[in-house]
Amino acid sequence: MSVRRRAPHLADVRAGFTLVELLVVIGIIALLLAILMPALSRARESARRVQCMSDLKQLGTALMFYTQENRGRFPGAWEWHPRLNGTTWEGPLLRYHGISNAQVPKLYTCPSDDPETRRANRYPFTYTANWHVFWFDPTRSVAKITEIRRSSEKIMIIDESSETVDDSVWAPENWFGDRQNMLSARHDLRRERARESNQEDTLKRGKGCVVFADGRADFIDRRLAMDADYCDAKKP
């Protein structure tokens, strides 16, 4: 005996998702993105922070070589960074880097820095030199690396805030008067807030990358960077 199969009714065939189901799927995807994006953003910024510290450490190592070949003396605070001569970068530390001419600007600039946030026609980099370590004048600066007291605790170069950087010199004391020369917190905060009228509002906000006079790079509190115990190379 043959058995005839019943043809499927049109109502039994589902052509696709209903509108409600599509909205549910879209909602789930949006929720997942909302959860994942901040985590991905933090991971990306963390990687940039590691790169920033690596660049500063390279600069610290170059300075160690420079002082060894120059009787313990540091380059001038105004002259230590590279300058463009035609299409070629020139500077006192370049021979120790071992990088191509095209890579030079990246080594002296934080990878998280946005040039658009900086003032035009000013210093083209973000790393600035402590005027207590690099030669600035006999009152503030050490004459030789051997004069630095507690070198493992004295800051040599900082990643300066895009809101305050305007030249190659980091003069930490000046910030208390004109709100310039502040350590960047770009890896730690969404906004720099480096020039708050209430100094406590700035000092208590965030951390930034520095390299110490012994060549060690670290991620430290802003308050420490502005403390004479960490920036005055002559202070015991």
Distances 85 to 77, 169, 206 between C-alpha atoms, Å:
19, 21, 37
CA angle 60, 61, 65 (to 5 degrees): 115
pLDDT of 132 reads 97
164-194 burial, b if ≥16 CB within 10 A, otherwise e?
Answer: bbebbbbbbeebeeebbbbbbbbbbeeebeb
pLDDT of 92 reads 97
pLDDT of 25 reads 82
pLDDT of 15 reads 57
pLDDT of 115 reads 74
pLDDT of 45 reads 84
pLDDT of 213 reads 96
pLDDT of 156 reads 98
pTM: 0.82
pLDDT under 50: residue ranges of the chain: 10, 13
Residue 129, φ and ψ in degrees, nearest 5: -100, 135
pLDDT of 68 reads 96
Q: Confirm if 170 and 78 have CB atoms less than 8 A apart.
A: no
d(C-alpha 127, C-alpha 157), whole Å: 6
Residue 126, φ and ψ in degrees, nearest 5: -115, -15
CA angle 233, 71, 77 (to 5 degrees): 45
d(C-alpha 66, C-alpha 89), whole Å: 18
